[in-house]
């Protein structure tokens, strides 16, 4: 063993959680996608990695699933060092990708068979049938997947990920592009498999309500750095202010707003300004009186919530900006409607 390997193993306590990382850094050329990421995901929990587009969420999953190597730092998944024991890590994890992975021309059972082949599983059939029963797909086990609804497809994707009895499951934006009803059905399934099968789940999301509903612990990532961690309620208690966002068609006089009574912070945004205020009800009339009303395009008020925490920490909304098309969401929706 090289000296650096020993140092690398010594630096991290693999038993501290289902996923433990210390100082993970990942560069793509000169661009740093992850910078010094420390994270502990307690065993048996649902952990949310929240961040805007390009924050580094998928990169983090790729590092943790041993798909790409980190440039620095250490990571353990399910007690195994990702760099030194990638095979053991892969045997213990499942991955539900945002992309569709099912073979439409095969039946549900045949998709599970294919997964068993890929995973080199010999004793898989009973487990597959149990999973089909659990996900209420048993009666449709011999139907071609092309005839499945979006919700049924998602269930099957999760069944595939669970087939080899992993201890940790990674879900990269599992509900992207789904309608609200299917999304809620999936939330129930995710909490269900966490309870029923005792798997630790790390999921990434753009949906703040999703993180709030599902996750016992969260990490907020921005520009490759973890900017906050905690339970949803711990995070929510960080910001005790309303956030007022105003879109304008003219350049606002920022000092006027920054020095206004009740305004804690005032920042210029791409198309207007963002004000952190003690109470929007009492401050809004003052703010409005200082605006050129003809130039006001939009006013948005957020009460204290995970979204305001996110805005406070990153200066961005987690939810997709209205009016800005998320192309992946668009393609995901397109794929679903074509079925
Ligand atoms: N193979 C690559 N080569 C170069 N840059 C990359 C590569 N993969 C990702 N990046 C960059 O690294 C950053 C993080 O990407 P990543 O896909 O991890 O973000 P993300 O948080 O998953 O974003 P999204 O919410 O859009 O899925 C982005 O700026 C991205 O452009
Ligand atoms: Mg991603």
Domain boundary assignment for the chain: 3-231, 241-303
Q: Which of the four pLDDT bands, split at 50, 70 and 90, describes residue 249?
A: very high
Share of the chain above pLDDT 90, in %: 66
335 confidence band (pLDDT: 50, 70, 90): low
Average pLDDT score over residue span 136-165: 93
**Residue whose CA is at the smallest distance from ligand 1 atom 31:** 54
**C-alpha distance across the termini of the chain, in Å:** 52
**Which atom in ligand 1 lies closest to the alpha carbon of residue 59?**
18
pLDDT of 323: 38
Asked whether 230 and 277 are in contact (CB, 8 A), the reply is no
Site of tokens 């790729």: 62
Each residue's pLDDT tens digit, 75-98: 999 999 999 999 999 999 999 876
Structure confidence at residue 85 (pLDDT): 95
Q: Which CATH architecture has domain 3-231?
A: 3-Layer(aba) Sandwich (3.40)
Residue 321 pLDDT > 50, yes or no?
no
* Residue whose CB lies within 8 A of the most ligand 1 atoms, among 25, 27, 28, for a mutation test: 28
Question: Rounded CA gap, 237 and 22, in Å?
Answer: 26
Q: Which of the ligands is closest to the CA of residue 30?
A: 1
Q: Whole-angstrom Cα distance, residue 86 to residue 105?
A: 32
Q: Where are the alpha helices (DSSP H) in the chain?
A: 3-10, 57-64, 86-92, 108-119, 125-134, 150-162, 180-196, 208-214, 232-236, 254-258, 280-289, 306-314, 327-338
The alpha carbon of 177 and the centre of ligand 2 are apart by a number of angstroms equal to 13
Band the pLDDT of 224: cuts 50, 70, 90.
very high
What is the chain's mean pLDDT, rounded?
A: 88
Between residues 6 and 173, which one has the greater pLDDT?
173
Q: CA-CA distance, 8 to 19, in Å (whole number)?
A: 16
- Compute the average pLDDT of residues 318-338: 53
Ligand 1 binding residues, C-beta < 6 A: 28, 31, 33, 51, 53-59
Residue 172 has pLDDT above 50, yes or no: yes
CB burial readout 267-288, b (16+ within 10 A) else e:
eeeeebbbbbbeebeebbeebe
Backbone angles phi, psi at 296, to 5 degrees: -90, 120
pLDDT of residue 266: 94
Q: Which pLDDT value is given to residue 328?
A: 56
DSSP bridge partners of 274: 245, 267
Atom of ligand 1 nearest to the CA of 328: 26
Ligand closest to the CA atom of residue 32? 1
pLDDT at 333: 52
Report how far ligand 2's centroid is from the alpha carbon of 53 (Å): 7
Q: Is the pLDDT of residue 337 over 70?
A: no
Query: What is d(CA 110, CA 118) in angstroms, rounded to the nearest whole number?
Result: 12
Q: Is the pLDDT of residue 324 over 60?
A: no
Distance 54 CA to ligand 1 centre (A): 5
Q: What distance in angstroms lies between residue 26's CA and the mean position of ligand 2's atoms? A: 15
The whole-number pLDDT of residue 330 equals 54
Q: How far is the CA of 332 from the centre of ligand 2 (A)?
A: 13
209, 210, 217, 211: which is closest to 234 by C-alpha?
217
Residues 98-115 have a mean pLDDT of: 90
Q: What is the CATH number of domain 241-303?
A: 3.30.70.920
Ligand 1, atom nearest to 29 Cα: 4
For the chain, give me the number of helices (H) and strands (E)?
Answer: 13, 14
Query: Tell me, what's the pLDDT at 331?
Result: 58
| Residue 263: pLDDT over 70 | yes
pLDDT at 3: 40
Q: Is the per-residue pLDDT at 22 higher than 80?
A: yes
Give the span between the Cα atoms of 183 and 185, in whole angstroms: 5
* Residue 194 confidence class, pLDDT cut points 50, 70, 90: very high
d(CA 141, CA 132): 7
Nearest CA to ligand 1 atom 12: 33
Using CB atoms within 10 Å of the CB of residue 9, give its burial: 0 to 12 exposed, 13 to 18 middle, 19+ buried. middle
Which residue, judged by its Cα, is nearest atom 1 of ligand 1? 28
The model carries a pTM of 0.82
Domains 3-231 and 241-303 share a fold: no
Specify the pLDDT at position 208: 83
Q: Which segment of 27-41, 138-152, 318-332 scores lowest on mean pLDDT?
A: 318-332
Q: How confident is the model at residue 329 (pLDDT cuts 50, 70, 90)?
A: low
């Amino acid at each position: 063993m090289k000296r650096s390997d020993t140092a690398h193993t010594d630096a991290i306590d693999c038993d501290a959680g289902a996923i433990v990382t210390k100082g993970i850094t990942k560069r793509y050329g000169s661009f740093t996608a992850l910078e010094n990421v420390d994270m502990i995901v307690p065993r048996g929990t649902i952990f949310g990695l929240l961040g805007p587009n390009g924050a580094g969420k998928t990169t983090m999953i790729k590092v943790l699933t041993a798909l790409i190597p980190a440039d620095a730092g250490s990571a353990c998944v399910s007690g195994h060092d990702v760099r030194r024991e990638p095979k053991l890590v892969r045997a213990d994890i499942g991955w539900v990708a945002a992309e569709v992975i099912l073979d439409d021309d095969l039946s549900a059972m045949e998709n599970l068979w294919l997964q068993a082949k890929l995973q080199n599983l010999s004793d898989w059939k009973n487990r597959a049938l149990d999973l089909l029963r659990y996900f209420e797909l048993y009666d449709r086990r011999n139907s071609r997947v092309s005839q499945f609804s979006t919700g049924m497809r998602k269930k099957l994707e999760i069944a595939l990920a669970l087939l080899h009895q992993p201890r940790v499951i990674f879900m990269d934006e599992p509900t992207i592009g789904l309608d609200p009803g299917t999304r809620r059905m999936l939330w129930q399934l995710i909490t269900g498999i966490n309870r029923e099968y005792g798997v630790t789940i790390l999921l990434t999301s753009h949906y703040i309500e999703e993180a709030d509903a599902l996750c016992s612990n969260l990490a907020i990532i921005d520009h490759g750095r973890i900017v906050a961690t905690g339970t949803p309620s711990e995070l929510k208690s960080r910001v005790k202010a309303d956030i007022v966002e105003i879109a304008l068609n003219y350049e606002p006089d920022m000092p006027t707003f920054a020095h206004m009574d009740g305004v804690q912070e005032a920042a210029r945004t791409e198309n207007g300004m963002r004000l952190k205020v003690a109470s929007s009800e009492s401050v809004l009339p003052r703010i409005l009186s200082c605006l050129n009303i003809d130039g006001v395009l939009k006013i948005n008020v957020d009460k204290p919530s995970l979204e305001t925490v996110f805005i406070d920490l990153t200066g961005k909304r987690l939810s997709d900006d209205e009016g800005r098309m998320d192309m992946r969401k668009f393609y995901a929706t397109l794929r679903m409607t074509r079925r």
